[in-house]
Amino acid sequence: MAFTLQAQDPKRYRRKARMISVMMVGQLIIFSMLFSLLLSSVMESSLWAHGLGIALGLLATSALFAGLKERPWMGEISYVWQLKNHLSRIQGYQASLERAVDEDNRAALDVLSFYHEGVDQVAALNGKAPDPARVAQKERVLERRQALALPDRVTVFDPHDLSAFTRR
């Protein structure tokens, strides 16, 4: 299934990300304490009971947020999680894609162009400056695209496009 870059408001994203992080930490603390208390009352109070309570609290928090990630109020966070997942997959093919770019492979140029657009968006959403080495790599891909008369930007990524390339 193809993934399309969408415009996001960085301030709104950072505010929601902070809010959801605080909610997750609070929920983890509450669940961990609750499970630790229950396990300590059933078994004798021990380090193992408290450790198991923390592990169960982490599991419960993860399960709850996995179920909530499709809710409309989690839209920005879910979008960035998906984007980061796709960028991570592309990064695994980076060496193979770079070699294909040297051969003017259109699919590789499209994937790397999407990758650079996505990394720029994640950096902007997190309020960070782009990495100079990556900017140089982005310029190289852009020059190749212009030499082949391809559009400057690619905003859609289909994971099946990576099947022609080998992982590191």
- Write down the pTM of the prediction: 0.84
Token pair of 154 as six digits: 């690619």
Domain count, the chain: 2
Where on the phi/psi map is residue 8: left (φ > 0), alpha (ψ -120 to 50), or beta?
beta
Whether residues 30 and 55 share a domain: the answer is: yes
Instruction: Tell me: do 156 and 83 sit in the same domain.
Output: yes
- Does residue 168 register a pLDDT over 70? no
Do 65 and 82 have their domain in common? no
How does pLDDT run across 54-81, given as a tens digit for each residue?
999 999 999 999 888 889 888 899 999 9
Quick one: 84 and 44 in the same domain? no
Q: Domain of 158?
A: 77-164
Taking only the tens place, the pLDDT of each residue in 90-118 is 999 999 999 999 898 999 999 999 999 99
51 with 117, same domain: the answer is no
How far apart are the C-alpha atoms of 96 and 20, rounded to whole Å?
A: 37
Q: Check whether residue 23 and residue 93 sit in a common domain.
A: no
